[in-house]
């Protein structure tokens, strides 16, 4: 299966692992709209990064929280990164409530924030496929296409790593990457 795809001067890389341990410029967090921390990737990032990330979020939290499909940036605390982009993906409601567009937007906003900070290496989890219930087979092509489209434009980003927690998720992303590479 494909685990890499070259886009202009950048590469999308798929790997199985712990996103909190991979050295990058920006770690993208699958955050909730209240930006109050949670389980899954969000909880792991907050635990590994330390309480400074939450303190910083408390200082920048938009009134009413962060809208779905958007993102905010903090420092990375003790993580092997400079910044954390807290991206809010959609909850799955059957696929007819704008989920695809909101998920793509969360990835684009993350990349916009990373590019604005001159990031060269960015890591992503599979946003919305945990407790938010987005089926990974449907989320993977949306995520990869959003990132590939962004990287096709001028950007300082050279590596977009999808650091995936389990084999099932990795294999879904590999299948989606093969389809994108084939132009489907």
Please give the full DSSP string across 134-180, using - where no structure is assigned: --HHHHHHHHHHHHHHHHTSS-S--EEEEEESSHHHHHHHHHHHHHH
Q: Which residues are catalytic?
A: 42
Residues 6+ positions from 153 with CB-CB distance below 8 Å? none
Q: Give the pLDDT score at 71.
A: 97
- How distant, in Å, are the alpha carbons of 58, 72, 142 from that of 87? 15, 7, 15
Where does the pLDDT of residue 68 fall: very low under 50, low under 70, confident under 90, or very high at 90 and above? very high
Cβ atoms of residues 105 and 8 within 8 Å: no
Q: Give the pLDDT score at 1.
A: 63
Where does the pLDDT of residue 184 fall: very low under 50, low under 70, confident under 90, or very high at 90 and above? low
Question: For the chain, what is the mean pLDDT?
Answer: 95
For residues 32-52, average pLDDT = 93
Cβ atoms of residues 54 and 84 within 8 Å: no
The first and second tokens of residue 163, run together, are: 């650091």
Q: Is the pLDDT of residue 16 over 90?
A: yes
Separation between Cα atoms, residue 44 and residue 29, nearest integer Å: 9
Going from the N-terminus, what domains does the chain have, and what CATH number goes with each? 4-181 (3.40.220.10)
Q: Is the pLDDT of residue 72 over 90?
A: yes
Q: Give the pLDDT score at 2.
A: 65
Report strand pairing: 26-31 vs 121-124: parallel
Q: What are 144-170's pLDDT values in tens digits?
A: 999 999 999 989 999 999 999 999 999
Place of tokens 């996103």: 19
Q: What is the pTM of this model?
A: 0.95
Q: Is the pLDDT of residue 51 over 90?
A: yes
Cβ atoms of residues 176 and 164 within 8 Å: no
């Amino acid at each position: 299966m494909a685990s890499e795809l070259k886009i202009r001067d950048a590469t999308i890389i798929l790997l199985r692992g712990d996103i909190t341990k991979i050295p990058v410029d920006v770690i993208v967090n699958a955050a909730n709209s209240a930006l109050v921390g949670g389980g899954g990737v969000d909880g792991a990032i907050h635990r590994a990064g330390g309480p400074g990330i939450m303190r910083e979020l408390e200082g920048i939290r938009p009134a009413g929280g962060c809208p779905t499909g958007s993102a905010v940036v903090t420092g990375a605390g003790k993580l092997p990164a400079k910044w954390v982009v807290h991206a809010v993906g959609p909850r799955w409601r059957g696929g007819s409530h704008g989920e695809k567009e909101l998920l793509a937007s969360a990835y684009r906003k993350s990349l916009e924030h990373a590019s604005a900070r001159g990031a060269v290496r960015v890591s992503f989890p599979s946003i919305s496929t945990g407790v938010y219930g987005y089926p990974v087979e449907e989320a993977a092509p949306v995520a990869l296409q959003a990132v590939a489209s962004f990287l096709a434009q001028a950007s300082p980003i050279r590596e977009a790593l999808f650091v995936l927690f389990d084999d099932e998720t990795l294999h879904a992303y590999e299948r989606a990457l093969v389809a994108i590479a084939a132009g489907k």
